[in-house]
Structures are given as C-alpha cells and as structure tokens.
C-alpha cells in the first residue's frame, strides 16, 4: 500500500505510482471532516478526488476528524461521492491532530472510541480500516483497543509502531507489530521505517504482518514496490540510482505542471519530493536540486543526471 502523506500523495503523484510501479492499494491524503453541522462535512475539492479506484488500483479515502455524528455523516457523503473503501486516521502526530481529539489525538480519550468506531463501521458499506499509532504515550495501548476493532468488524489495521508523542523520532518498533499480529484475528499492515526491500522482507518475516504500507521510503524510491516483488534490482549502483531518480522526477514534472499553478508552486512541490531523498552517493545533485532557484534550473540538474540528458 502507498501511504497517505499530506502534501505529497496528491492525485498526480498517485497516478504516477499507479502507472509506473502499481501499488496494490492507494490512499488519498487525509480529508478533513468539518465538525460544524451547518456546513458540508467534506470540502468540494476533496469530494472531487473521491473514487473507488484510481488507474485501476483500489483507492482508500482517509477521513480525519472526531465525533460520532461528523464522522458518520462524512462517511456517508464520501460514499455518495463514489468511495468504496474508507479509512479513519488515528495516527497523525502533528499539531492540533495530536493535541486535540483528531488523528493521533483520538488516542488521548480511548474511552470515547467505543462511541465512534461501531457506528462508523456500520455506516461504511465497503471496506473500513483504521490507521493507528501504537498509542498516545504508551506503546502498548494498541493491545487494549483490539477487542473493540474486532467486535466492530473493522476489516484491517494499519499500524505505525511509534507513539503519537514520538512523532517520527527514534525507530519504529516492529516487535510491537508482531505482538499485535499475535493478539488479533484482524489482518495487520505494517507501516514505518521501511526504506529498502531488505527492511520490508525483515518486517514481514519478523512480525507476521499481512502486508506493508510504504510512506517516506516509497516517496524516496518508488521502485521500492518493484524491488519488494523481486522485479527490480534491490541494490542499484550510484549511476543506476541517479538515472532512476531523474526518470522519477521527470515523470512527475508534467503531471505537477497540470495540477499546480505556476513554476514556483511546481518547484516547491518537486522539492518536497526531493526532501525525502537520503542518498550519500547522490549528495551533489540532490544539493543542487534543493538549492535550485527556478524550475528551469531544477530541470537542468535533472537533465545532467539522466543518461539521456
């Protein structure tokens, strides 16, 4: 699964991934649920992105919000707009998502989840899943929530085994993933710190997870999906990595030109992808891409990296 990443996994990037590396499942960026009854629960722009699939790949609509009535009515609205698969974000660790009762903040009041999860599951006619952190402060909190998810009929759990307060510090502890797998009959999708094919295979083997969700590792290297399947070289040399990165960014660029307005906005979005690249062998071109003052300068660097440039 390609993880939902706010500001990154927009429709253009999802289409590129779907066509080039074919994830088994795609997710929208999270769609904010308005708590105000007098307005639409989901924005018009979000409603336009909703579909049962994208480029033939199942598309999961991820909701982020709080409160039984807002979430249930948003789920109904999403389905009326065409959603076949819905997911509840219970893991976002940033800002008001963590300090309030939205995203990872939902784990601050676990006693209220019994009022939300069952009616939400009942309202969703297709698949319903949760993406969740291991806990708010306690990494074992997830274990106490498994009976609720099972009784409500949640279809699967996507677990990022850090706490909300950790944000992205330290390492994802997939021994927690393994414990969750052993303690539930629900399929568990492992998420967090999977940056290479070796990482993915190790997590699957050691945790017993049903599958993987790839986030930052996939943004850095879309071919990670194909490397995990044995369809691409798991350890390309520096020249091959440079060519792969140039091809990736050159493939995204025309899609971003169509989706976003103006060269500077496109440049900022391209740099957001580059910010996830961590490759010592490509330190010089990556530095040049990050420092490019114009889209033309950015493209010139790409041209120098490409074997066809």
- Under a CB-based contact definition with an 8 Å cutoff, are residues 153 and 180 in contact? no
Q: Is 261 known to be catalytic? A: no
Q: Per-residue pLDDT for 98 more than 90? A: no
Give residue-wise pLDDT tens across range 138-159: 999 999 999 999 999 999 999 9
Distance between CA atoms of residues 288 and 266, nearest Å: 17
Q: Which pair of structure tokens corresponds to residue 227? A: 């490397």
pLDDT cut 90: percent of the chain above it: 91
Q: How confident is the model at residue 308 (pLDDT cuts 50, 70, 90)?
A: low
CATH number for domain 11-228, candidates 3.40.50.300, 3.20.20.70, 3.40.50.10800, 2.30.40.10:
3.20.20.70
Q: What is the reported pLDDT for 234? A: 93
Q: Per-residue pLDDT for 171 more than 90? A: yes
User: Which of 291, 196, 305, 195 minimizes the C-alpha distance to 242?
Assistant: 305
Q: What count of other Cβ atoms lies within 10 Å of the Cβ of residue 49?
A: 20
pTM for the model: 0.94
Q: How confident is the model at residue 100 (pLDDT cuts 50, 70, 90)?
A: low
Residue 163: partners with Cβ closer than 8 Å, 6 or more residues away: 133, 134, 135, 136, 137, 138, 139
- From the centroid of its chain, how far is CA 261? 24
pLDDT cut 70: percent of the chain above it: 96
Q: How confident is the model at residue 136 (pLDDT cuts 50, 70, 90)?
A: very high
Distance between CA atoms of residues 241 and 117, nearest Å: 44
Averaged pLDDT of the chain: 95
Numbers of helices and strands, H then E, in the chain: 14, 9
Q: Please give the average per-residue pLDDT across 264-282, as a whole number.
A: 96
Give residue-wise pLDDT tens across range 278-290: 999 999 999 999 9
Distance between CA atoms of residues 262 and 124, nearest Å: 39
Q: What is the reported pLDDT for 39? A: 78
Q: Please give the average per-residue pLDDT across 50-74, as a whole number.
A: 96
- Under a CB-based contact definition with an 8 Å cutoff, are residues 24 and 57 in contact? yes
Q: What is the reported pLDDT for 273? A: 97
Q: Per-residue pLDDT for 96 more than 70? A: no
Q: Which residue has the higher pLDDT, 37 or 293?
A: 293
Distance between CA atoms of residues 31 and 17, nearest Å: 20
Distance between CA atoms of residues 306 and 103, nearest Å: 40
Biggest CA pair distance of the chain:
58
Q: What is the reported pLDDT for 94? A: 74
Q: Per-residue pLDDT for 119 more than 80? A: yes
Q: Per-residue pLDDT for 231 more than 80? A: yes
Q: Per-residue pLDDT for 307 more than 70? A: no
From 59, 60, 90, 92, the catalytic residue: 92
User: Which of 31, 182, 15 minimizes the C-alpha distance to 103?
Assistant: 31
Could you tell me whether strands 57-64 and 53-54 are parallel, antiparallel, or unpaired per DSSP bridges? antiparallel
């Amino acid at each position: 699964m390609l993880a939902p990443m706010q500001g990154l996994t927009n429709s253009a990037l999802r289409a590129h991934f779907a066509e080039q590396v074919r994830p088994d499942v795609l997710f929208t960026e999270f769609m904010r649920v308005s708590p105000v009854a007098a307005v639409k629960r989901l924005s018009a722009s979000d409603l336009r992105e909703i579909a049962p699939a994208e480029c033939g790949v199942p598309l999961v609509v991820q909701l982020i919000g709080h409160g039984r009535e807002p979430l249930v009515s948003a789920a109904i609205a999403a389905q009326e707009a065409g959603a076949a698969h819905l997911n509840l974000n219970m893991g976002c660790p940033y800002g008001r998502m963590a300090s309030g009762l939205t995203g990872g903040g939902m784990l601050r009041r676990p006693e209220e989840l019994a009022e939300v999860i069952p009616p939400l599951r009942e309202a969703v006619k297709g698949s319903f899943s949760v993406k969740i952190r291991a806990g708010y402060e306690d990494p074992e909190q997830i274990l106490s929530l498994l009976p609720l998810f099972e009784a409500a009929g949640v279809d699967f759990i996507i677990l990022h085994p850090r706490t909300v307060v950790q944000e992205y510090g330290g390492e994802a502890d997939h021994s927690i993933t393994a414990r969750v797998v052993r303690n539930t009959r629900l399929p568990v999708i492992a998420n967090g710190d999977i940056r290479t094919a070796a990482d993915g295979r190790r997590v699957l083997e050691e945790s017993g997870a049903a599958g993987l969700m790839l986030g930052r590792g996939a943004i850095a290297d879309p071919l990670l999906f194909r490397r995990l399947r044995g369809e691409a070289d798991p350890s390309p040399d520096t020249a091959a990595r440079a060519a792969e990165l140039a091809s990736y960014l050159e493939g995204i660029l025309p899609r971003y030109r169509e989706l976003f307005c103006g060269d500077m906005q496109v440049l900022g979005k391209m740099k957001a992808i580059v910010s996830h690249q961590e490759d010592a062998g490509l330190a010089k071109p990556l530095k040049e891409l990050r420092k490019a003052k114009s889209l033309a300068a950015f493209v010139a660097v790409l041209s120098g990296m490409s074997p066809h440039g």
